[in-house]
Each structure stands twice: as structure tokens, then as C-alpha cells.
Amino acid sequence: MIFAIESADQDKYPELFDEMFRMRAEVFSGRLGWDVKVENGREIDRFDAEDPLYLLSLDERSGQLRGAVRLLPTTGPNMLRDVFSVLMPGGTVGSPLIWESSRFAVNPQIFEARDRAEANHMVSKTTVELLYGMVEVAQRAGIEHIVSVFDARMARIFRSIDCRFEQLGTPVRIGKVMTYAGLFDIGADMRSRLGAAGDLRSSVLADGAIAPASVTALVANVE
């Protein structure tokens, strides 16, 4: 089940957000070896201060965090524009109808011990559920595309589940990995393909998880 929580409301869920930031540290620093800043066991960057929308996948029975992703409008600070501009030397995207996803992570703790090392290199139910949840939230808010920066590992996962993207610019090796920028059309076709890949026939959003007012207001400004 996916919960959509705005940054301004994270104080209402301190334990859940603490778990998410610790999960991000384990995934991006500990397992993937990215050059990210970890303090007190938590991975938090400057974009977490830009009022993002978080989608968190929770186990319906235990409440365990299964995964998370962060969404930001491309009209303000975002990773593609401010960190990975080398991927698009001719300019970047910026529209109320295009949002950026980042810090996509699946919690290694949901896997058996023998599988944890490969948790973020494989397609799991949580992977597809988070992608499907992004499509649902975006569609409810009137957002048309999602842009993301990802590595070759995620590119392979996207292709394996027919999560199609338009490659933006030219892939560049950053650190130890080949890095891509991709634009995802999150219309009905994308929802149908992800639904087939994950055997999802109904909404994955928790009851009452509608597009936050601030998201809808941003999109409405261009109409």
C-alpha cells in the first residue's frame, strides 16, 4: 500500500521518516556505494528541504517500510537541473506538468538475508508498486510526465517491466556508474503496462491518499 506524504507533514510520522532516511543510507551509501552524505545513520540531502512529496510503500499488516521515492516539481530546485546538468548540456526541463522522481529505494530488510545484497538490482513487487503509485498520484494531480536520473541498473529494471522512457541527452559515466536522464510519459498506457507487470488491477494508494492540494494547485497554474 502506498502513502503519499508531503514534506510539511513529516513531523506527524517521525518514526516512519526516520526509518526511510536510514533505509536510504543503507541502500545508496552502504549497498550501492554512491557519494552521498550520511549523518547519524541517515541519508538526507538538500532536496529534502524543498518540500517534496514522498511516496512510501508500507506492508498492510505489519506497517513495515518496503520502499520509498521522492517527487519534486521541475519548476524549482531538482537534481537533474542542479546536480546532473551534464546529462543535458543543451538545457534541462522545467514545467508544472513535469515532476522529478529521485531517491527510489526498496528496503533490503524485506528480503531474505541471502537476497538482500541484490535487493536493489532486481524487480520486486515493491518496485512495480512504487512506479504504479507514482503514475496514480501524477494522474490525479494532472501531471503528464516524470523525469528521473538513474543508473544502468535501474535502466535494465525499467526495460524488463516495459516501463518505457525517452532518453534525454547522452548517458555519462558519473563515479563508477553509467548515468541516464529519462522522461516517462505517465498516461494510461504506462499505467496499463505497469499493472500487467505487477498484476495490479486496482489502486495501490491508501484510502484517502489523494493528490495533495499543493500539487494540484501548482498544475492548475498553467491551465
Residue 218 included in any domain: no
Residue 181 included in any domain: yes
CA distances to 20, 39, 143, 186, 210 from 206, in Å: 18, 31, 20, 20, 9
- The structure's pTM equals 0.88
Residue 23 included in any domain: yes
Q: What is the pLDDT of residue 177?
A: 86
Q: What is the pLDDT of residue 91?
A: 83
Residue 14 included in any domain: yes
Residue 216 included in any domain: no
Three-state DSSP class for 14?
helix
Residue 215 included in any domain: no
Residue 212 included in any domain: no
Could you give the CA distance from residue 161 to residue 172 in angstroms, rounded to a whole number? 24
Residue 82 included in any domain: yes
Could you give the CA distance from residue 151 to residue 180 in angstroms, rounded to a whole number? 6
> Could you tell me the CATH number of the domain that includes residue 145?
3.40.630.30
- Find the domain containing 144 and state its range: 2-206
Ranges in the chain, pLDDT < 70: 111-122, 208-223
Three-state DSSP class for 122?
coil
Q: How many CB atoms lie within 10 A of CB 50?
A: 15
Q: What is the pLDDT of residue 118?
A: 53
Number of domains in the chain: 1
